[in-house]
């Protein structure tokens, strides 16, 4: 009687076999919207789909580190622990336990101002276990070091990553993990990959160093900002990865490129942020399709010419006539002929030339004999359509 639940549990624990070589999870940046990514991974895990590569930017890089830096059975737990830690609110009116039960709290207008109050509170007090405001940010004066140029200090995030992420496990490479950042000096996108280098908390923090709120992160003498400064989605890294393979790719879009025309300044700022942060997946895939189609056409073209290419020089009839007028008839012992035209039959051998003693042969031709050639004097009295070549 107890075998059915045990069997069901065993079936649920088995990994699903998919017709793909890899399963990739692409996590873009989006701040607090990154909490949705935790729910997406939970659904993937419950479907027993084994993820083999996590690629993230900004908050997506932090979520990716929580996945790659923990065993599969603890990943969802670590994601929930992180988001509960960074959203633990300070004491303020909207978070009093009985405030959410007030009758007017279900009104959309009330909810709007409640969210505004929460955002202002985070702006002035920071987020616990994530960042704290700087008392005197370098607005009108220069800072002593580049890592001080920001409104907030992200030292608490480093401690949180050290507590929830096992970087030794990441560098053992049971799961491929990549994070995107931006080189402050060159402005070029940079991808940190545990298959190519040893990753630390600094690489994850570099991917989440969004200016001017967060300071740049120094790695090997270079300073890096958030990867979203260049592209909010690391999908391009997945598409450009070599060698080619089949893959099932999950990308969590936190921003919508489509929206209404704003009618006030706050809405305009939000709309600009949505457009900037929205995934360029459609554009990227269209470029990939064009590249793939070009490669396929070239492969088909190459297969039609597998036989060795003939290097024999060919001439059209008009080109041969022009060439015959521009040089002597017997300037060479080898006559150039068209590759695709059958050679004209030679006539019977003639007596040797009186001048050189060499035997000559006649070949029907539209060219006239060359009077300067001693081999041709023997045939000067023959018809004008005959030309001789030295047969040796």
pLDDT in tens, 98-150: 555 555 556 676 767 777 777 777 788 888 999 999 999 998 888 899 999 99
Q: Provide the mean pLDDT of the chain.
A: 77
Cβ atoms of 236 and 280 closer than 8 Å:
no
Confidence at residue 300, expressed as pLDDT on a 0 to 100 scale: 77
The two tokens of residue 249 are 């790719």
Q: What digits encode the pLDDT tens for the residues 354-368?
A: 555 655 454 444 444
Cβ neighbours of residue 268 closer than 8 Å, sequence gap 6 or more = 262
Q: How far apart are CA 65 and CA 165, in angstroms?
A: 7
Average pLDDT over residues 227-235: 89
pLDDT at residue 95 greater than cutoff 80? no
The region, left, alpha or beta by phi > 0 then psi within -120 to 50, assigned to residue 186 is alpha
pLDDT at 17: 78
Mean pLDDT of 11-35: 81
- Cβ burial of 121 (10 Å; 0-12, 13-18, 19+) is middle
Q: What is the pTM for the complete model shown?
A: 0.67
Element containing residue 203 per DSSP (H, E): helix 201-207
Please determine, for residue 2, whether its predicted confidence score (pLDDT) is greater than 80.
no
Interval 251-307: pLDDT, tens: 888 887 788 898 889 889 888 888 877 766 666 677 777 777 787 788 777 777 654
* pLDDT tens, residue by residue, 194-224: 999 999 999 999 999 999 999 999 999 999 9
Strands of the sheet containing 386-390, edge to edge, are: 349-352, 359-364, 386-390
Distance of alpha carbon 239 from alpha carbon 371, whole angstroms:
71
DSSP character for 97? T
pLDDT of residue 195: 95
pLDDT band for position 15 (cuts 50, 70, 90): low
Q: How far apart are CA 98 and CA 100, in angstroms?
A: 6
């Amino acid at each position: 009687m107890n075998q059915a639940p045990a069997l069901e549990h065993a079936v649920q624990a088995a990994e699903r076999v998919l017709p793909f070589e890899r399963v990739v999870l692409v996590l873009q940046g989006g701040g607090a919207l990154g909490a949705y990514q935790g729910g997406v991974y939970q659904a993937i895990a419950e479907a027993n789909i084994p993820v083999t590569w996590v690629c993230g930017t900004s908050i997506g890089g932090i979520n990716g580190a929580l996945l790659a830096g923990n065993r599969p059975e603890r990943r969802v737990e670590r994601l929930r622990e992180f988001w509960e830690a960074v959203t633990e609110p300070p004491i303020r009116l909207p978070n009093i336990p009985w405030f959410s039960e007030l009758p007017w709290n279900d009104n959309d207008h009330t909810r709007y101002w409640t969210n505004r109050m929460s955002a202002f509170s985070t702006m002035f007090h920071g987020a616990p276990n994530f960042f704290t405001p700087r008392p005197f940010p370098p607005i009108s004066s220069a800072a002593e070091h580049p890592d001080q140029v920001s409104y907030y200090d992200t030292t608490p995030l480093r401690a949180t990553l050290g507590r929830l992420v096992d970087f030794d496990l990441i560098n053992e490479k049971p799961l491929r993990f990549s994070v995107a950042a931006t080189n402050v000096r060159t402005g070029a996108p940079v991808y940190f990959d545990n298959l190519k280098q040893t990753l630390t908390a600094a690489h994850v923090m570099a991917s989440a160093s969004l200016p001017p709120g967060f300071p740049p992160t120094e790695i090997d003498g270079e300073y890096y900002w958030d990867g979203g400064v260049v592209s909010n989605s690391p999908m391009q890294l997945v598409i450009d990865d070599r060698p080619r393979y089949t893959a099932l790719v999950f990308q969590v879009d936190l921003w919508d490129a489509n929206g209404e025309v704003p009618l006030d300044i706050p809405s305009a700022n939000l709309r600009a942020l949505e457009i900037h942060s929205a995934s360029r997946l459609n554009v990227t895939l269209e470029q990939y399709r064009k590249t793939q189609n070009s490669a396929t056409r070239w492969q088909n073209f190459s297969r039609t010419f597998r036989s060795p290419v003939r290097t024999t020089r060919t001439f059209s009839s008009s080109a041969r006539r022009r060439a015959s007028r521009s040089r002597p008839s017997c300037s060479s012992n080898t006559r150039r002929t068209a590759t695709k035209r059958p050679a004209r039959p030679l006539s019977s051998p003639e007596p040797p030339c009186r001048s050189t003693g060499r035997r000559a042969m006649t070949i029907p031709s539209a060219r006239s004999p060359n009077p300067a050639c001693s081999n041709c004097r023997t045939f000067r009295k023959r018809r004008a359509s005959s030309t001789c070549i030295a047969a040796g």
